[in-house]
């Protein structure tokens, strides 16, 4: 695996290191030792999958409050998506900033979102699926979110919105009151 730092500390783009021959290629998508060597949390307590039928759908922007904050590693397993991480860590020099990256089956990239960062994505193709490796189990009472179209975040979603859940549409505006102390 090849780890690419982003402007947000701990938010890392992960590229498969492919090894191929006439049959095709092989690449490691997760390795405890490589994650730890890169300074990423290698603990996986839960694995999730999502499927979204319609392009332009937004899921998120979600996070969990401490003590249930989670590290998350997201990969696209079908279709394409635009994946976003937003820094909510109190005292972080990049508080309120975001990184967005296109994850597709073709580019084989993944995004690691550390504790204290919120996460969301927009599907860029119909029938898009993703897998998530989570460091902590989901705790419904700790779930929070940010409004997907909040101008303070300045996220430029690649497509017009087609679908979003009522819950995701109703998350509050971003602001200093959302800073997470981990």
- Token couple for 8: 């947000």
Catalytic residue among 62, 82, 112, 119: 62
Among this protein's residues, is 68 annotated catalytic?
Answer: no
Catalytic residue status for 132: yes
Residue 140 CA to residue 166 CA, distance in Å, equals 16
How far is the C-alpha of 176 from the C-alpha of 15, rounded, in Å? 33
Catalytic residue among 112, 132, 138, 177: 132
Instruction: Give CA separation, 64 vs 44, 80, 117, 128, in Å.
Output: 16, 25, 9, 24
Pairing of strands 72-78, 128-134: antiparallel
Active site residues: 62, 132
């Amino acid at each position: 695996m090849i780890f690419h730092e982003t402007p947000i500390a701990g938010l890392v783009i992960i590229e498969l290191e492919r090894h191929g021959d006439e049959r095709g290629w092989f690449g490691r998508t997760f390795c405890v030792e490589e994650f730890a060597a890169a300074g990423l949390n290698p603990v996986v307590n839960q694995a999730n999958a999502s499927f979204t039928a319609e392009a332009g759908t937004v899921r998120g922007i979600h996070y969990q409050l401490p003590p249930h904050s989670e590290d998350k590693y997201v990969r696209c397993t079908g279709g394409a998506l635009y994946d976003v991480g937003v820094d909510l860590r109190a005292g972080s020099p990049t508080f309120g900033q975001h990184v967005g990256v296109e994850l597709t089956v073709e580019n084989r990239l993944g995004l690691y979102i550390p504790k204290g960062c919120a996460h969301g994505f927009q599907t860029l193709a119909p029938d898009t699926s993703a897998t998530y490796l989570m460091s902590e189990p989901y705790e419904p009472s700790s779930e929070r979110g940010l409004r997907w179209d909040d101008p303070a975040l300045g996220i430029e979603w690649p497509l017009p919105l087609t679908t979003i859940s009522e819950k995701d549409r109703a998350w509050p505006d971003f602001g200093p009151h959302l800073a997470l102390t981990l």
